[in-house]
Structures are given as structure tokens and as C-alpha cells.
């Protein structure tokens, strides 16, 4: 077994176990931690495949988005922060475990860079003289252009559907009426009065 194959099995095992724990963990904090671990492990698999751009996008976009989403969830939920600080030691073992696994995976990724490329039996990911990002963009916008646009349309429909399902119309909410504002006359909102000196209104 080569080093690259061993690292692949490690990343694949961690990704699968983290994905299972995302839906199996009862605590939402633990689920988010395992989800971040699954994303980072998937990024390691992309690095092994030679797709560094996809690995960077996965870490920057998804891990960043999950962190922001978790922040919004914490802000929206009615959480007692005093009790949360008191339970810090309860989350410390899981967080330390996830951090340790991430450190091991980073060490494995940087360790495999020293392995010769001849030991890895895989086809080249990009033609000679073409960067990974350029090859990926050329492939998406030429050979898989219609599938790429179809995926974008499906995601757009999903976004519109989610907004429609979660939108709540409040009858007491004040809304802006552009037509009434444009056709409003000064006499409808202004009243001119003649005020005598030293007499008040």
C-alpha cells in the first residue's frame, strides 16, 4: 500500500464517519463541528486528486458559510450565554477531538507533497501548460455547459421555493407604495397657515 492510498483511506474514513455523526449527533454544536470536519476531509480528497482549486473553494465557501450560518443560528435562538459559558468544558472534548483530527489530516496532506508523483497511478488532471482552474473552467463552459446551466436553474428554483415557503405576510406591517408616493401632491401632506407675530399657531 502506497502512502497516497493510505492517506486516501484515512480521509475517506473520516469523511464518512463525520457525515454520519452530522445526522446522528443530538447536540447541534457537535453536528456543526462534524460538518466542518467532513468539509475539510473532502477538501483533502480533492487535493489528493490534484484539484487544488476545488479544495480551496470547498474550504473557503462551505466552511465559511457554515460558520456564518452557525453564527446566525446562535443569534436567532434564545440561548442563555451564561449557561453556555458554564458548559464550555462539556464541549471541550469533542472540539479537541475534531481539532486533533484536522491537525493530523493537515500533516498527511503536507506529507504527501513530498511523495513522488510517479508513485501515484492516476491520469493527469490538466494538460501541460494549463492551470487547474483554467482547465476546470474550460471544461465546465464547453463540454458540460448545458448541465452547468441546468444545475444553476435548479438551484435558482430551490432558492425561490424556499423564500416562498418561508415568507410570511403580516397585515399590520407598513409597506412602501411607490405609485402613491409618485402621485402625491403637496396639498395632500402640507398645510400652510398664516401665523401672526407673537401669537403662536
The answer to whether position 101 is within a domain reads yes
Of 55, 64, 11, nearest in space to 36 by CA? 64
The answer to whether position 184 is within a domain reads no
Q: Which of 66, 96, 125 is where one domain is finished? A: 125
Q: How far is CA 3 from CA 7, 12, 105, 115, 121, in A?
A: 6, 14, 13, 8, 12
The answer to whether position 188 is within a domain reads no
The answer to whether position 161 is within a domain reads yes
The answer to whether position 140 is within a domain reads yes
pLDDT at 34: 84
Contact criterion met (CB below 8 Å) for 45 and 11: yes
**pLDDT tens, 9-67?**
888 888 889 888 888 877 777 777 888 888 888 888 888 887 788 888 888 888 887 76
Residues 67 and 144 in one domain: no
Dihedral sign computed on CA atoms, order 94, 100, 105, 109: positive
Domain CATH number, residue 54: 1.20.120.1200
Residues 7 and 49 in one domain: yes
Largest CA distance in the chain: 100
Residues 101 and 20 in one domain: yes
Cα separation, 161 vs 144, in Å, equals: 26
User: What domain range includes position 90?
Assistant: 3-125
Q: How confident is the model at residue 85 (pLDDT cuts 50, 70, 90)?
A: low
Map grid coordinates 472540539 to a residue: 95
**pLDDT tens, 127-180?**
667 777 788 788 888 888 999 899 999 999 998 988 888 777 777 777 788 888
**What's the average model confidence in pLDDT over 117-136?**
62
Residues 142 and 86 in one domain: no
The answer to whether position 194 is within a domain reads no
Helix then strand count (H, E) for the chain reads 10, 0
Amino acid at each position: 500500500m502506497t502512502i497516497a492510498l493510505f492517506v486516501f483511506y484515512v480521509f475517506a474514513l473520516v469523511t464518512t464517519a463525520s457525515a454520519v455523526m452530522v445526522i446522528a449527533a443530538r447536540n447541534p454544536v457537535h453536528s456543526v463541528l462534524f460538518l466542518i470536519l467532513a468539509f475539510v476531509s473532502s477538501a483533502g480528497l480533492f487535493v489528493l486528486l490534484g484539484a487544488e482549486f476545488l479544495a480551496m473553494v470547498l474550504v473557503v465557501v462551505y466552511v465559511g458559510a457554515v460558520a456564518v450560518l452557525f453564527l446566525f443560528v446562535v443569534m436567532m435562538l434564545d440561548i442563555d450565554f451564561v449557561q453556555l459559558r458554564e458548559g464550555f468544558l462539556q464541549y471541550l472534548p469533542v472540539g479537541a477531538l475534531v481539532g486533533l483530527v484536522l491537525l493530523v489530516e493537515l500533516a498527511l496532506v503536507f506529507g504527501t507533497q513530498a511523495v513522488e508523483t510517479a508513485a501515484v497511478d492516476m491520469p493527469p488532471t490538466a494538460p501541460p501548460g494549463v492551470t487547474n482552474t483554467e482547465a476546470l473552467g474550460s471544461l465546465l463552459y464547453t463540454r458540460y455547459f448545458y448541465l452547468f446551466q441546468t444545475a444553476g436553474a435548479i438551484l435558482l428554483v430551490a432558492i425561490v421555493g424556499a423564500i416562498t415557503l418561508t415568507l410570511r405576510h403580516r397585515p399590520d406591517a407598513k409597506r412602501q407604495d411607490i405609485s402613491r408616493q409618485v402621485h402625491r401632491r403637496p396639498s395632500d401632506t402640507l398645510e400652510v397657515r398664516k401665523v401672526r407675530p407673537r401669537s403662536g399657531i
